[in-house]
Structure 1
């Protein structure tokens, strides 16, 4: 990249992931340093959310990255992934959540448990209504057994 060519969100993500690995930092530690939640920080670092300028500056500082990354982190993301899109509105919204936060959840799960997945077989899910004066909320709780990948 030249000084005239701005970095893309995918360029910023690659640099962030490399710096995170080189420094041995967890998403939780990075999030604490920038004053945000681990899930949101991870999602933004993976290019699925935009950061405020102050948060972006804090992130590049904690990772010792160049200030040239700040505009990419502040830029509004295009939340696109390659999949067939469901058309039912309720299913689409869940699909959108997984599309936007799926890579984040994978990162956080593997950071906490190791290389593996959450079972969808040994699994429970609850949907609850949470009353809120600003509008009722949907609470989805998923609990799945962690299944480590095996080497042979």
Structure 2
């Protein structure tokens, strides 16, 4: 049996780009899809773009709303490979997040340690909210990251 390109599953990121194009052509917003699926908008957007596996019920809702084919739905539900793409850092918006962490990261780390002790804020067990904030000097991007604190727990190999 010969395997063809059509037999290979779509890459999650490629599928996400296709789904995003379909979403835009249909005039659907991420916020509307978030309400429809009952999932937080930042999580849903990230998942559709390839960073998370989408549960079957959410994939089915997206399939029905956006008229997605089986290959796109299958890509949504697969476990992603989470890797760093250096090309993303060239994007001005993504670069500014990196710049924010470069400037404020050490201060945030010090403040987390002062408040909670030796540990980290989880990026796995977190929620993220983004909203527009009105400001006299121009609208603001208000980003809230709510991450679980994970203390370092040094366990002896003998335990």
Specify the TM-score bucket, using the shorter chain as the normaliser.
0.5 to 0.7
Spell out, residue by residue over 1:35-81, the C-alpha distance to the aligned partner (whole angstroms, 9 max, x if none).
21111100101111111112112112211111221221111111112
**Which blocks of at least 5 consecutive residues in structure 1 are unaligned?**
131-135, 139-152
Give CA-to-partner distance per residue, 1:71-109, whole Å, 9 cap, x none. Answer: 21111111112359x9x9x69x77x95xxx9xx98xx66
Q: Which residue of 2 aligns with 1:45?
A: 48
8 Å contact from structure 2 (residues 37, 58) kept in 1: yes
For structure 2, the 5+ residue unaligned runs are 90-101, 111-119, 134-138, 151-159
Query: What residue number does 2:92 align with?
Result: none
CA contact (8 A) 2:23 2:29 kept: yes
Say if 2:14 is the partner of 1:11.
Answer: yes
User: CA offset at residue 126 of structure 1?
Assistant: 9.8
Rounded to whole Å, the distance in 2 between the matches of 1:127 and 1:18 is 28
Count of residues in Structure 1 that have an aligned counterpart in Structure 2? 112
Q: What is the aligned counterpart of 1:67 among 45, 66, 70?
A: 70
TM-score by length of 1: 0.55
The runs of 4+ residues in structure 1 deviating greater than 3 Å are: 125-128
1:55 is aligned to 2:67 = no
TM, length-normalised to structure 2: 0.53
Question: Which structure has the larger Rg over C-alpha atoms?
Answer: 2
> RMSD value over aligned CA atoms?
4.3
